[in-house]
Amino acid sequence: MPRPAADIKGYHAHIYYDPETKAAAARLREGLSRFEVVVGRWHDALVGPHLKSMYQVAFAPEEFAKVVPWLMLNREGLDVLVHPATGDSKGDHLDRALWLGEKLGVNVSVF
């Protein structure tokens, strides 16, 4: 049976960077302040299933149509993972995710 869209309680965007692109990630972070989002801490060391340094941006379903198109146009070449928050972290990161830029993949052993 198909899951209803109401199962999506929010979204996460993971903005990936390395030392050479951290300034671009900072500019993107600053630009995101125009939206109703919660921007997480910088994670220079790997955390969770992520295979590259990143920070997370959390937002409500009603912000998706504002935040994601803006990221598409302004990501400055950075790779971005966007996924729903349904309570099924593995499925959200693997099966229900969209990528802007290169699909980096995730560490499935974390789930």
What angle is formed at CA 95 by the lines to CA 111 and CA 86, rounded to 5 degrees?
Answer: 70
Question: Under a CB-based contact definition with an 8 Å cutoff, are residues 67 and 59 in contact?
Answer: yes
- pTM value is 0.94
How confident is residue 3, by pLDDT bands cut at 50, 70 and 90?
confident
> What are the chain's domains?
8-104 (3.30.70.1240)
| Residue 2: pLDDT over 90 | no
The answer to whether residues 32 and 78 touch, using CB atoms and an 8 Å cutoff, is no
Question: What pLDDT digit, counting tens, does each position of 43-93 carry?
Answer: 999 999 999 999 999 999 999 999 999 999 999 999 999 999 999 999 999
